[in-house]
Structure 1
Amino acid sequence: MDDFWLNALWSLAPTVLIGLIFWFVMRSLLRADRTERDAYAKIEAEERAKRAAQQHRAA
């Protein structure tokens, strides 16, 4: 009976390992995307504020 459980464990190990690697890669990609979007939004807000200030001075 010990052979059965050992074989079951070894047969599931590669699938679980690949799943964990996939999860880690996807998590990293999503976090990087979120960070990039936050940085872009901050820069865009600063540029909009500069443009609004310039238009206010010109008027």
Structure 2
Amino acid sequence: MLAALKGKLLVNMSTVSPTQNQELAALLAVHGAEFVEAPRFRAKQGCRSRQIIGAVGGQRKYR
């Protein structure tokens, strides 16, 4: 399954720990995939008021 990710970009929009994102990025890199983290903040309140805040982190070419 991981081999099918070669050349793909995975965008993780969950709010997991930085360590989990780093581990996932390393695993994907071994299999030729790219990784960007893009968590959302204030998801519950933001959905109600239509003001969700997002951040993106990853290699510069994806920012």
Same-fold call, TM > 0.5? no
Query: Which of these two proteins has the greater Rg computed from alpha carbons?
Result: 1
Of Structure 1 and Structure 2, the greater helix share is in: 1
TM-score (norm 2): 0.26
Structure showing greater relative contact order (alpha-carbon pairs closer than 8 Å, 6 or more residues apart): 2
Of Structure 1 and Structure 2, the greater strand share is in: 2
